[in-house]
């Protein structure tokens, strides 16, 4: 459920994709540079996976979908890995029990590194000039995209694991964090009713769930100019929002009775002050920063309390269409620090994954990728909700207006926040 | 989750509504005429409620929302009932634990009958000619509609309870059942792309979740001319559909591993023959009859196996708009027998609740009813899917093209079936 | 777990046993005289059973073990009952799921009454003068004893069911209850070290688990002259006993963390006053009365807090051996009211089931009854603890010093209390 | 539940105990020599703990009960460790959640090694000649015994963790295993009825639960001359023992329905052949070797199938009393290989932990150790069963006839087997 399936990209200089492959593979290792073998072993809940598993599974993806079917003479690294590091591809075969991923101490981390090297070499040995490469290239692109998605999960899963530790270790001690002095005043940006095109088309890489492009009719709506801040969310808490059933979906209220919660995941109150567990350890809560680690139920409850609602994913996409992407994305390297902007529609991209009110569903005319990679996206289209925009930890190539992320409404360990919407002209 | 909230109806002859109140109240008792006090006591799962509870709760609705606030001098029947028979209205106050409804043996059934009489008399004593009646009338209508919804639940909940009994008792021994000799050949009815109006408007009663009427754009689609039959569903089973993960949503497949299932709820194989537990006891499966008691996962898996998909609720509603309601609804009394029709788009209404692929969500501009009755519908809008059309057990006034029923995707104890759809002109 | 298996009794006037059969059967009905069909239907937890089930199961016992094998020409009442009302006798065949007993509304209560009549007549039609009766007689005795055990369970199970009802109905409104003005001062009765005979021998009826009589060596010990009172237990509560881990078994402490509890089952604090839910409804707690509805963990924790311990079942039995039974049992009819006595070793019998520290285990040389009735006792000998002495609700014939009752340490819905012990001369 | 509490030992040359301390500490590290940091991190079930945790917790024991209270000027290594590595000593303070021990990646393994060094040095710096040492010495002894107990748990917990790995890694590849060619013929050794002394006395170290020595009366009994073999257990399996309820305790039978099991833990059938997962990986089952990894339910069911029973712990201890310990313990170093002997009462010690039918309970007059170390044993005395004799993995000093090990009846990951008994002269 935590992973994404995708539709393959298109023509590009073959050598360039091999280079990007190498960069992507290296980036995954960079993310783990400060971790111990133990850090990379543990799994703190069934929804999360060990970092070691992420490193192996992304490798498995290249081996399974490219090397085994397409690379003549490729020699499998370890035949047990087909079973061990398959996430959920039933077309490939059965999978090791997800909840037990954290118990697999052998292969060791070193063996996983060797596995990565073995596969990396075999990929580099593919001859881009050969005839078959045009068939391999889209799969290579998909594998790169897939690994990039797992890079964000490595961070969120690690953060969750470290949060279980009463010593609150710091995952990324040198991460740059901007302190935000003032949140910009909240303005309402209006959009007209009309028929809009939703979804992706064209040559650039995109996932199958972004297609086909189709028409949708939207009634007039308005979108908040920026994300909801910690300070605003705190007002909700302080007005006893978590104790008042009128703001909560029935299902959410039931959960609150069973598993009481008084704030977003990773928030901790010490004395009279709020802290937040982050990749850099426990930090004082920054009131002007966008709220992070709320689940869908919390996002929805906050919106009801505020007298507003969450946007649909179509509304979000239409609004994003009016943006110059560059104006929101000052940083060119995938750092972990958010960007902020005082202008009109800000914090759309690369800041927080923004919950929409849209259940994750196929677009009209949607067809999954053919073959086993078709399990990537389509089979998760129930009881999950779409998030848009990308977070501070989202790799650059995954920041686009048609991109659909999705999680169960109870999930809050992703870098998820919210933006308010309302109906009417 | 099992109940619906609604938007109030409008102007009608005041006396007429009092008459309909009496008819509705009488109909609830008729449904229970053959039941023992024990039958009406039991609760076979948390999602179901005892028949006795349904009789009391629907009474509580009139007492709570009409008599207490509006009937001067009304004397409460039993002050404990406010707590005991409140389903989920947090605005009224706390509720007795849902899972324990079946344990409340006191008040006895006789006391619940007395409660009904007490409230019936007080309602009849309202003076339609008085000034305030215009404020009461919409609530009275809502209470009638609410009780009618519970009438269907009385039947589905009883069936579930009786199914736990190894003697397979018969709930409704004299229920009329038509044997269907031949299912009509499956045809595909095409609908053009375009902007359509969805949702309800006007004076007639409707629920808040059917409003506001709004525009939607649909790409071209086609709808099956009739419901999927038992014979067709059996082909899916016999091609080992329940063992092949490629047809199932990931979440559904997980469930099948944990709670194995080989056929819809209430199906039983004895020797080489399939039977189905019905309100009339165990019956030989009728191949031409529309499949019943499939959950959303099964409906979706069947559609994938068939190379089709489920319709969205908007597609369904648009298609239904082209129907003369009368042509599909031969029977004027709410019997339990389905109607069939050889003509184009058949079995749309009053036959099976038809799963759509639409997650239950608010329409653009949706506003719940003001006050505590506003908890009726809006707070259930997550992780549920919309069903359309009404079943053989649905009271007549609930059969309309804009009506939205909703259940969790795992629910199969309702009279639920499916109709296939596909994209394209 | 809730029932007992037994070893058959011996020679008695055949007619007398038929009379006692009739009395016992009548007594079961008397216990239910004030109950509605709904009261007798419900099952409030897996460990409890509906009163209707008890009435049917005890009848099943006579039908299964006597009428079917021994009564020529006996006509089975309903062949489904063999499965439906078998409690746990695997030798007879599979059983209906225990947790679902409360869902079986058919057969109705009337049908169960008819079943009882049918079996009663067949038993009365047995000819005591015939040759085979000597083989039937011990089974008849076992069936009577079995039904008497269920009589106590009918009351405890009903009380548990009624406790779920927020209206706290009264099961036995005319039950006589003595108010105890003063508890006698607690004295310590000393017993010497030595070899003692434990267990039963002789002609009178007893269960297999009371045999064989065997020798045991006891070190010197002392036993409290009376049971622990509510007032004493309240002191434990008020000294924060439920919050101090040093008094609790590790397993108990874990449970308290998961399922917090601040007092025995059925205790309710209203304002500053303690009440107890009893068969007569909610009653003010009587400080001098022996504490009731404590589980093993609570009994053990209280004893540790008091610097004492629970007696072993052997110690209890040896102590009881010195008693004139009559001196403790003033009442000759099985009322529900306890007897109290100011003399030395009081409240041993017919007052509260007294937890002992002895795990329920076979006596040296123990052999279960031959045949399927052998499942009565032996298969429960793990993870249960022995209670001795009988309660206010225990039928007279079950009050003897060798009688072994047993329940899981977490069980508290029986009429269970405790008596302290200590080691040393 | 997995650990033991103890009663302190007595006078010994102070320097000798310091030496034994060093040996014991070194032995723990030896056990982990071939493990990776990841191997030592994982926790495969709540009942097991990571090897890293075992290394830290045993260190914590010395720090908490000796260094902090007795070593002037001792500087705590890390103040968070008091909470983090406390197992269950409520008297010391709250404990980190047991089920999450496997998630604590920081402190790293290196930090735990540093912790061990820090504490080892501080212990070595204690001056045996000083006055207070006589008070420290028994605690030091207890700490050594405690660490030795954890050495066996390190192995059993690791084996369980490795068993979750589909690659079935080998924990101890060079472990010596004797192949047993023939099991000796099973003989019955008879013991007379009489009064026997049970429990420990004297100067040598023993745990509090072995005291006080007291008298017990045993009826005559016979004990099998050797342990039950794999071949014998296989006969039970092949006679469909796991499918026949008549052999199983009721509670066991329920579990088998819920969690089906067809053989002891770690047995695997491949084709027609049985294998067993051992510390040396998957091995062909040795028919003559004593069965291992049966739980109490299985041991009891086997005994019923064989027409015998399990011995009580008193019977076992009395029988063991007639043995020259040396005759059963050929090996002087704690290898992992069992010893076998053709003589009368064989395989009593150092072979398999032998389930007895005795619930773990206090001896008459039992008093826990004073102070917080008193939580070591007494608070586990409910719902656990005693095992005797020690296993192939039990450190030498823990092999004695009065030693009481204990586990829940469902536990099978220890090196547990069984020996049959029967009643009578």
pLDDT at res. D172: 74
D249 closest CB neighbour out of C214, C250, C382: C382
C34, C40, C105, C166: best mutation site toward chain B, by most B Cβ within 10 Å? C105
- D313 burial level (CB within 10 Å; 0-12, 13-18, 19+): buried
More confident residue, D171 or D284: D284
Query: Residue C179: pLDDT band by 50, 70, 90 thresholds?
Result: low
User: Is D159 in contact with D393 (CB distance < 8 Å)?
Assistant: no
Contact D359 C361 (CB under 8 A): yes
> Mean pLDDT across chain C, nearest whole number?
90
Spatial CA neighbour of B43 closest among B132, B142, B160: B160
State the chains in contact with A (3 or more Cβ–Cβ pairs under 8 Å): B, D
Closest-approach residue (CA) in chain A for D45: A103
pLDDT at res. A363: 97
C166 closest CB neighbour out of B83, B109, B164: B83
Give the whole-number percent of chain D exceeding pLDDT 70.
90
More confident residue, A78 or B345: A78
Contact A42 D37 (CB under 8 A): no
In this prediction, residues B2-31 reach a mean pLDDT of 75
In this prediction, residues C317-340 reach a mean pLDDT of 53
Query: Residue A252: pLDDT band by 50, 70, 90 thresholds?
Result: very high
Q: Which of B14-23, B341-350, D120-129 shows the lowest per-residue confidence on average (mean pLDDT)? A: B341-350
Residue A171 has pLDDT above 90, yes or no: no
- Neighbouring C-beta atoms of residue D221, cutoff 10 Å: 25
pLDDT at res. C21: 97
pLDDT at res. D179: 57
∠ Cα A349 A353 A355 (to 5°): 120
pLDDT at res. A324: 52
Q: What backbone phi and psi angles, to 5 degrees, belong to B215?
A: -95, 145
- What distance in Å separates residue C206's CA from the closest CA in chain D? 22
Query: Residue C423: pLDDT band by 50, 70, 90 thresholds?
Result: very high
Query: C91 contacts in D (CB within 8 Å)?
Result: 246
C359 closest CB neighbour out of D297, D359, D424: D359
In this prediction, residues C305-314 reach a mean pLDDT of 98
Give the whole-number percent of chain B exceeding pLDDT 70.
90
In this prediction, residues D32-50 reach a mean pLDDT of 96
The pair of three-digit structure tokens given for residue D298, joined into one six-digit string:
């299985």
- Which residues face B229 on adjacent strands? B290
Residue C182 has pLDDT above 70, yes or no: yes
pLDDT at res. A36: 95
Query: Residue D324: pLDDT band by 50, 70, 90 thresholds?
Result: low
pLDDT at res. B183: 84
Residue B341 has pLDDT above 50, yes or no: no
B383 closest CB neighbour out of A90, A217, A383: A383
pLDDT at res. B9: 43
Contact D165 A44 (CB under 8 A): no
B41 closest CB neighbour out of C41, C44, C83: C41
* Rg, Å, chain A Cα set: 22
Q: Which residues contact C119 (CB under 8 A, 6 or more apart)?
A: C59, C62, C63, C67, C77
Would you list which residues of chain D are within 8 Å, Cβ to Cβ, of chain A?
Answer: 36-42, 44, 52, 80, 83-84, 96, 100, 102-109, 161-162, 164-167, 169
pLDDT in tens, C7-31: 344 456 788 999 999 999 999 999 9
More confident residue, C417 or C204: C417
The pair of three-digit structure tokens given for residue B362, joined into one six-digit string:
């608010």
Is the dihedral angle over the CA atoms B333, B338, B342, B348 positive or is it negative? positive
Contact A380 B250 (CB under 8 A): yes
The pair of three-digit structure tokens given for residue D28, joined into one six-digit string:
């723990």
Half-sphere exposure (Cβ direction) of C200: Cα atoms closer than 13 Å: 20
Strand segments (E) across A219-368: 221-224, 267-270, 273-278, 281-284, 353-359
Query: Residue A326: pLDDT band by 50, 70, 90 thresholds?
Result: very low
D380 closest CB neighbour out of C246, C250, C381: C250
Contact B296 A382 (CB under 8 A): yes
Q: CA dist A191 to A320, A332, A423, Å? A: 11, 29, 10
Of B196-210, B224-238, C326-340, highest mean pLDDT:
B224-238
Q: Are strands B214-218 and A281-284 parallel, antiparallel or unpaired?
A: unpaired
Query: Residue A177: pLDDT band by 50, 70, 90 thresholds?
Result: low
Q: Which of A171-185, B91-105, B357-371, C97-111 shows the lowest per-residue confidence on average (mean pLDDT)? A: A171-185
Q: Which residues contact C317 (CB under 8 A, 6 or more apart)?
A: C196, C198, C388, C401, C402
ipTM summary value: 0.92
Contact B108 C36 (CB under 8 A): yes
∠ Cα C1 C4 C7 (to 5°): 150
Q: What backbone phi and psi angles, to 5 degrees, belong to C18?
A: -65, -40
Residue C129 has pLDDT above 80, yes or no: no
- What distance in Å separates residue C415's CA from the closest CA in chain D? 21
Spatial CA neighbour of C392 closest among C345, C347, C357: C347
Give the whole-number percent of chain B exceeding pLDDT 90.
79
Query: B172 contacts in C (CB within 8 Å)?
Result: none
> Mean pLDDT across chain D, nearest whole number?
90
Contact B221 A364 (CB under 8 A): yes
In this prediction, residues D360-379 reach a mean pLDDT of 91
Spatial CA neighbour of D207 closest among D65, D60, D398: D398
The pair of three-digit structure tokens given for residue A414, joined into one six-digit string:
């992703």
In this prediction, residues C200-217 reach a mean pLDDT of 93
Query: Residue B336: pLDDT band by 50, 70, 90 thresholds?
Result: very low
pLDDT at res. B60: 98
C86, C250, C381: best mutation site toward chain D, by most D Cβ within 10 Å? C250
pLDDT at res. D252: 97
Query: Residue C404: pLDDT band by 50, 70, 90 thresholds?
Result: very high
In this prediction, residues C406-410 reach a mean pLDDT of 98
- What distance in Å separates residue D115's CA from the closest CA in chain A? 16
Of C88-92, C176-180, D111-115, highest mean pLDDT:
D111-115
**CA D208 – CA D139 distance, rounded (Å):** 13
User: Is D312 in contact with D354 (CB distance < 8 Å)?
Assistant: no
Query: D357 contacts in C (CB within 8 Å)?
Result: 361-362
pLDDT at res. C341: 44
């Amino acid at each position: 459920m935590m992973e994404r399936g995708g539709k393959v990209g298109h023509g590009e200089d073959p050598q360039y994709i091999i280079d990007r492959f190498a960069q992507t593979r290296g980036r995954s290792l960079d993310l783990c540079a400060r971790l111990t073998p133990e850090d990379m072993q543990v799994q703190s809940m069934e929804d999360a996976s060990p970092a070691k598993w992420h490193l192996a599974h992304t490798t498995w993806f290249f081996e399974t979908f490219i090397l085994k079917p397409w690379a003549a003479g490729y020699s499998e690294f370890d035949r047990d890995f087909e079973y061990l590091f398959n996430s959920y591809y039933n077309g490939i075969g059965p999978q090791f029990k997800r909840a037990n991923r954290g118990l697999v101490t052998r292969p060791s981390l070193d063996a996983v590194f060797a596995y990565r090297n073995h596969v990396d070499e075999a990929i580099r040995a593919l001859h881009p000039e050969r005839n078959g490469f045009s068939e391999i290239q889209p799969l290579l692109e998909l594998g790169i995209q897939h690994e990039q998605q797992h890079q964000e999960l490595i961070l969120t899963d690690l953060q969750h694991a470290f949060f279980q530790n009463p010593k609150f270790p710091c995952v990324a001690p040198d991460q740059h964090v901007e302190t935000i002095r003032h949140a910009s005043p909240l303005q309402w940006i209006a959009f007209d009713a009309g028929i809009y095109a939703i979804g992706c088309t064209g040559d650039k890489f995109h996932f199958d769930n972004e297609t086909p492009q189709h028409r949708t009719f939207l009634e007039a709506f308005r979108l908040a100019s920026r994300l909801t801040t910690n300070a605003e969310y705190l007002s909700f808490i302080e007005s006893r929002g978590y104790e008042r059933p009128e703001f909560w979906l029935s299902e959410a209220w039931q959960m609150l009775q069973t598993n009481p919660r008084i704030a977003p995941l990773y928030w901790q109150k010490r004395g009279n002050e709020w802290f937040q567990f982050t990749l850099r350890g426990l930090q004082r809560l920054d009131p002007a920063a966008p709220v992070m680690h709320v689940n869908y139920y919390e996002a929805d409850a906050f919106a009801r309390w505020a007298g507003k609602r969450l946007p649909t994913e179509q509304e979000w996409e239409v609004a994003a269409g009016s943006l110059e992407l560059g104006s929101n994305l000052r940083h060119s390297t995938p750092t972990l620090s958010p960007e902020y902007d005082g202008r009109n529609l800000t914090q759309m991209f690369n800041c927080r994954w923004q919950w929409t009110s849209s259940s994750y569903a196929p677009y009209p005319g949607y067809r999954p990728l053919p073959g086993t990679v078709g399990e990537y996206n389509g089979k998760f289209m129930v009881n999950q909700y779409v998030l848009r925009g990308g977070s501070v930890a989202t790799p650059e190539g995954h920041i686009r207006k048609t991109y659909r992320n999705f999680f169960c409404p109870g999930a809050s360990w992703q870098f998820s926040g919210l933006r308010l919407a309302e109906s009417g002209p």
